[in-house]
């Protein structure tokens, strides 16, 4: 019994000892846990996040660009990129070989150098196909990562290329509307959190990461791709037929200022903007390249004479059989005209007749009308790189300048300025600001709508009525006869300008043009057609006017304008149905 009792007492002591040991151990663990989870919480939390957490940057998607009928002109598509963290690459040679197998265009030796680099970040391939990116990701190569990016595409190719512009590899606008509205189209990336496994792969992310990438604002333009296609087709066909160095077509709604078409030849494809052969055609020459306008500029002198009432419509001028001396300089006409009325002077584009008509307007007054029409200043169109053109003040004019300016010499204008000036005649006297953007849209909501912007009144309604009558005569009976349309009245003016070369006017190099509007009594568009240095058909009436006619016929059909030709008896007939612009409603009738 004593042994049993002794044994029992011994066992109880050992039990106490074991229990005490475990109790102390548990207490030590509890204290340690308390220290770790409370006292060192911040340290261990940050360590865990550094090892397994990941700051995820959700790249934004650039806004799209649409024409007036919601056709896509520019959009961004998924185009992942491949990069490396060289310090995490285990076998540079083997890794380079595996990457080169998927991307044959990449040099294996160069890949090895990049993978062995001392940099912490190196791009290997930008904007690759999603299929190749998936194939590479399936290999799970240490130190090789895929970044989700997008690439800018232009589904219409060369159509309106210089106007739409282009975006670089980082989707920053570098030309055209892409550059002008870069801050609107782009937006900031969104940052969120996620976790990764031991290989560095993201295994989960916050809810925000699945909400879709942030998206920029969409642009909806005034451009009409159907009209753009028509213009580019006819422009290219005629430029090649007459051997022109280049050509352009600009079409504008005279009541809103919206540009319906801006086509320039040779064409520029923004999908291939890095092509050196295309560099000369990136810029939008309708706003960047000023030219001497030639006879199309005679409308300014005609408008001044009508507005100031210095000439009568039935007044006759002696055009001296096409040759005369004025201020010790020979002034010629393209034909030997004798006596012409004021409208006939315009119809036949007589330089001598226009010089005699405009000599009744003083230099200061003539200069004022030139500036009223917007020449010598920017039109404020929403495109980068606009040139203001060039016109000297009257105090810098020579004795020959007044006559020279009357016929479109000693002044440079941009095609967009010329179209805007003729729009002021077509709409009843208002100079409008031309524009490409109709509205901006964010998601399903319209953020901003751009309304017509009137800059100033140029002429009275009565003057524009009479000037329209004269310009209809130019097409009906004069130099613009090849622009005439069956079923519609066209008002317009042809132009042929000798190019300045080595301080004098060239005898072989010219710029030819025709500008007009239709239907004359209620215009739906003003259109300029221009060719530079044609080798054949070196007059505006024969080279540019037929292109105007072909484009206008198709445009009026597309715009669903029914024929209903009015026959002129008095000048006011042409504007019988025109919107009364003086009421302040700058809208299409």
What local confidence, expressed as pLDDT, does residue 533 receive?
94
In this structure, which long-range contacts are made by residues 133-141, counting pairs with CB atoms below 8 Å and at least 24 apart in sequence?
133/80, 133/82, 135/102, 136/82, 136/99, 136/102, 139/98, 140/199, 140/201, 141/89, 141/95, 141/98, 141/99
Q: What angle do CA 330, 336, 342 make, to 5 degrees?
A: 90
Of 368, 340, 367, 366, give the one whose Cα is nearest residue 353.
340
- Could you give the C-alpha distances from 349 to 46, 297, 340, 566, 574, in angstroms and in order? 83, 11, 11, 24, 22
Q: How many CA atoms lie within 13 A of 6 on its CB side?
A: 3
- Beta carbons of 99 and 89 less than 8 angstroms apart: no
| Sequence ranges of the domains in the chain | 2-39, 55-221, 225-583
Is residue 512 helix, strand or coil? Answer: strand
Query: Which stretch of DSSP H or E encloses residue 166?
Result: strand 166-167
pLDDT at res. 1: 46
List the chain pLDDT tens, one digit each, 589 residues: 445 455 466 677 777 777 777 777 777 777 777 776 777 667 666 666 655 555 555 567 899 999 999 999 999 988 888 888 888 888 888 888 888 888 888 888 888 888 888 888 888 888 888 888 888 888 888 888 888 888 899 999 999 999 999 998 888 999 999 999 999 998 765 555 555 555 555 544 454 445 567 788 999 999 999 999 999 999 999 999 999 999 999 999 999 999 999 999 999 999 988 888 888 788 899 999 999 999 999 999 999 999 999 999 999 999 999 899 998 889 999 999 999 999 999 999 999 999 999 999 999 999 999 999 999 999 999 999 999 999 999 999 999 999 999 999 999 999 999 999 999 999 999 999 999 999 999 988 888 999 999 999 999 999 999 999 999 999 999 999 999 999 999 999 999 999 988 878 888 899 999 999 999 999 999 999 999 999 999 899 999 999 999 999 999 999 999 987 554 433 344 444 343 333 334 433 3
Place of tokens 């004798």: 338
- For the question of residue 295 being annotated catalytic, the response is yes
Per DSSP, what are the bridge partners of residue 419? Answer: none
State how far the Cα of 362 lies from the Cα of 495, in Å rounded to an integer. 24
Strand partners, 330: 325
Residue 50 main-chain phi, psi, to 5 deg? -65, -35
Locate the DSSP E strands across 273-408. 316-318, 323-326, 329-332, 339-341
Number of residues that make up the chain: 589
CATH architecture of structural domain 225-583 = 3-Layer(aba) Sandwich (3.40)
Residue by residue, DSSP assigns 200-268 as S-EEEE-GGGGS---B--EEEES--HHHHHHHHHHHHHHHHHHT-SEEEEEEE-TTT-BEEEEEEES--
The SS3 assignment for 339 reads strand
To 10 degrees, what angle do helices 461-477 and 415-426 make? 110
Structure tokens at 468: 């329209």
DSSP state of 574: G
Q: What pLDDT does 94 receive?
A: 86
What is the predicted pLDDT for the residue at 550?
A: 97
C-alpha 306/C-alpha 298 separation (Å) is: 12
DSSP H helices, 331-457, are: 342-347, 351-358, 363-372, 401-406, 415-426
Give CA separation, 495 vs 67, 237, 488, in Å.
31, 20, 22
Among the listed residues 295, 469, 494, 542, the single catalytic one is: 295
- Rounded CA gap, 8 and 202, in Å? 61
Contacts (Cβ under 8 Å, ≥6 apart) of 507? 498
Q: Are 370 and 302 in contact (CB under 8 A)?
A: no
The fold of the 55-221 domain, in CATH, is Penicillin-binding protein 2a (Domain 2) (3.90.1310)
Q: Please answer whether residues 88 and 50 qualify as being in contact, where contact means their C-beta atoms are separated by less than 8 angstroms.
A: no
Residue 280: per-residue pLDDT: 78
Going across the sheet that includes 150-153, the strands are 150-153, 72-78, 65-66, 218-221, 437-442, 445-449
């Amino acid at each position: 019994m004593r042994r049993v009792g002794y044994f029992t007492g011994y066992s109880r002591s050992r039990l106490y000892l074991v229990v005490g040991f475990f109790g102390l151990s548990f207490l030590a663990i509890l204290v340690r846990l308390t220290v770790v989870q409370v006292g060192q919480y911040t340290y261990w939390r940050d360590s865990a996040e550094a090892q397994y957490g990941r700051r995820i940057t959700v790249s934004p998607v650039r806004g799209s660009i649409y024409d007036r009928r919601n056709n896509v002109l520019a959009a961004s598509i998924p185009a992942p990129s491949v990069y490396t963290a060289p310090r995490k690459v285990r076998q540079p040679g083997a890794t380079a070989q595996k990457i080169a197998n998927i991307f044959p265009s990449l040099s294996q030796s160069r890949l090895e150098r990049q993978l062995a680099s001392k940099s912490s970040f190196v791009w290997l391939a930008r904007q690759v196909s999603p299929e190749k990116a998936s194939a590479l990701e399936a290999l799970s190569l240490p130190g090789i990562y895929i970044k989700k990016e997008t690439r800018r595409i232009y589904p219409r190719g060369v159509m309106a290329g210089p106007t739409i512009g282009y975006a670089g590899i980082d989707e920053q606008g570098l030309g055209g509307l892409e550059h002008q509205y870069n801050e609107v189209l782009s937006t900031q990336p969104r940052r969120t959190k996620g976790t990764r496994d031991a290989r560095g792969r993201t295994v989960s992310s916050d809810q925000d990461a699945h909400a879709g990438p942030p998206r920029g604002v969409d642009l909806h333009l005034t451009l009409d791709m159907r009209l753009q296609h028509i213009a580019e087709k006819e422009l290219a066909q005629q430029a090649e037929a007459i051997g022109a160095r280049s050509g352009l077509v600009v079409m504008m709604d005279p009541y809103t200022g919206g540009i319906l078409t801006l086509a320039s030849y040779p064409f520029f494809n923004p999908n291939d903007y890095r092509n050196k052969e295309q560099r000369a055609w990136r810029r939008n020459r309708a706003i960047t390249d000023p030219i001497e306008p030639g006879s199309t500029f005679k409308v300014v002198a005609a408008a001044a004479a009508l507005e100031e009432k210095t000439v009568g419509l039935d007044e006759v001028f002696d055009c001296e059989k096409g040759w005369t001396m004025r201020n010790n300089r020979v002034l010629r006409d393209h034909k030997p005209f004798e006596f012409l009325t004021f409208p006939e002077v315009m119809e036949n584009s007589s330089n001598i007749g226009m010089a005699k008509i405009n000599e009744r307007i003083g230099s200061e007054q003539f200069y004022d009308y030139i500036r009223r029409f917007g020449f010598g200043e920017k039109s404020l169109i929403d495109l980068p790189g606009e040139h203001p053109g060039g016109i000297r003040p009257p105090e810098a004019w020579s004795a020959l300048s007044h006559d020279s300016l009357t016929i479109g010499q000693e002044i440079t204008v941009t095609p967009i300025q010329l179209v805007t000036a003729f729009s002021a005649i077509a709409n009843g006297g208002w100079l409008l600001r031309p524009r490409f953007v109709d509205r901006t849209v964010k998601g399903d909501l319209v953020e901003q709508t751009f309304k017509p912007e009137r800059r100033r009144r140029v002429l009275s309604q009565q003057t524009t009525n009479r000037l329209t009558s004269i310009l209809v005569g130019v097409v009906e009976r004069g130099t613009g006869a090849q622009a005439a349309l069956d079923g519609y009245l066209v008002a317009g003016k042809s132009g042929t300008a000798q190019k300045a070369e080595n301080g004098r006017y060239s005898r072989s190099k010219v710029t030819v043009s025709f500008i007009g509007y239709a239907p004359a009594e209620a215009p739906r568009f003003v259109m300029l057609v221009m060719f530079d240095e044609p080798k054949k058909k070196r007059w505006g009436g024969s080279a540019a006017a037929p292109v105007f006619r072909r484009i206008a016929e198709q445009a009026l059909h597309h715009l669903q304008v029914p024929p209903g030709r009015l026959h002129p008896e008095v000048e006011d007939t042409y504007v019988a149905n025109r919107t009364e612009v003086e009421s302040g409603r700058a809208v299409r009738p």
